[in-house]
Each structure stands twice: as structure tokens, then as C-alpha cells.
Amino acid sequence: MSNAPIGIYDSGMGGLTVWREVRRALPEESLVFLGDGKNCPYGSRTREEIRRLADAAVARLVEEEGCKMVVVACNTATAAAIDQLRAKYAPMPLVGMEPAVKPACLATRSGVVGVLATERSLDGDLFRRTAARYGEGIEVVTAAGRGFVELVEADREDTPEAEACVREVVAEMLARGADQIVLGCTHYPFLLPVLQRVLAEHTDRTGRDVAIVDPSPAVARRAVQLLDAGRLRAEAGHRPEYRFLTFADESYRQRLIAKAERLF
């Protein structure tokens, strides 16, 4: 047993959507959320840069904050760095983001699955391997959510500008008949209200429903499993603390806290 915190890390504010699920699944665990902020967005950086940034973030959570487990709540950092982080920090458990292509491929009836993610995640091995493994016989249509991360970072995720941006990015996958859209970046669930509006219009026009697949509840379940396997749960009745850190400035940290509060 350990009352040490669980670390949750993202390039910025997106990982808060995973933080929410981990908090729900593990209500007695203290959580330290590190939203880099200073180097966000990661999506168009090189793999080497992302590896260096992810290593510095996990080092901060483990060495300075004493975390007993780290959730890399960033698809881009997971794709670029999870193997290297696992090798370095073993036996500490590390949970990464899985592109939720498998549940989408199992659920599709049209045989077409859309995946939204950052450029770097889409051209990474993790996505290619997952798509090849589960996407046999299924058309997987990908699109980079250009501008999405910036909108969420600027707290502009529920604006007409965001709606126009989302409409443009999903147009092709909808035109090709996608009935599942996978959110392959932890920032994107913040855009759910606008995405749902765009999909509702599509349903009105075509009569076809489209499901949205967010992997964060499954990632939280994985964190629970690993915590139990390592006998790392906090004591029964432990009163959790929630802390927020960033490599950016204090005003960014305050915005992170405000955004986390709005999620509940």
C-alpha cells in the first residue's frame, strides 16, 4: 500500500480529460497533474524532441513529486516515448494512451472508422500497428485535428470558430461513411459539445448515426489494474489531494485548475 500520488502528464490541458476519469475510478488516490504548457503543442514536434520533453516531465513527477505510478495522458507522447520511459522507470508502472481503434472496429456497421489525432500520433508506429491489427477489412480514415489543440489551450473550444474547424476536419470521414469517430488526442474530448452538434446535423441530413469513441475511461481502468497488481493502492479512507503543476507560468497553472474544476 502507498499513499504516494499518481502522476498524470500531458503536453498541456488535454490530459485533464484523463485526470477526470482516473479521479472517478480511484477516488481515494492523490493525483499530481503536470501539464507542460510551455512546449505545447507537441503534435508537430520531432520524435526526439517529444522524447526529451516526456522524459523531463516523468522525471519531475517521479523524482521530485514521489509518484508511485505515472499516466502519460498524451497520445503523442505515448507514441513517441512510452517504450523508452518504461525501460527507464521500471518497475514503476506507466500507463499510456491506446488509440481506441479496436473498439471502434468492433462496433462499426458501415465498415468505415474515422480517427482524429495529431499529425505525430498518426504517423507513429503505435497507430500504424494498431490500425493494421484491428482494421482488417475496415476502412480507417484518419484526419489530423489541425487547430484543435490550440483552441482548447486558449479556452475557445465552444465557439463558432471551433465549430467551423471541427466541421472542416470531419467532413471527409463523414462523406466516406464513417459511423465511429475515435478521439486519438486527449485534448479532443473538450470539443465534444461542438463535435456532437456537427454530428447531429449529419444525422439529420443523412439519417446515419455516428458514435464517438473516447479511450480515457479504458485508460483509467488500466491504471486501476496496474495499481492493484503492484499492491499500490492508498489506504482505505485516505483523503486525496489534487495538485497541478506546469512548466509554463503561474497564470497557465491557474487556468489548468479552472479548467479541471469546470470538468466536474
Positions touching ligand DGL (CB under 6 A) are 10-12, 14, 40-43, 74-76, 118, 121, 149, 185-187
Provide φ and ψ at 54, rounded to 5°.
-65, -40
Nearest residue to ligand DGL on Cβ basis:
43
CB of 76 to ligand DGL, least distance (A): 4
CB of 216 to ligand DGL, least distance (A): 10
C-alpha cell at 163: 465549430
CB of 170 to ligand DGL, least distance (A): 17
CB of 13 to ligand DGL, least distance (A): 8
CB of 251 to ligand DGL, least distance (A): 19
Our CB check for ligand DGL shows the closer of 149 and 174 to be 149
Active site members:
74, 185
Our CB check for ligand DGL shows the closer of 7 and 14 to be 14
Our CB check for ligand DGL shows the closer of 11 and 130 to be 11
Our CB check for ligand DGL shows the closer of 89 and 127 to be 127
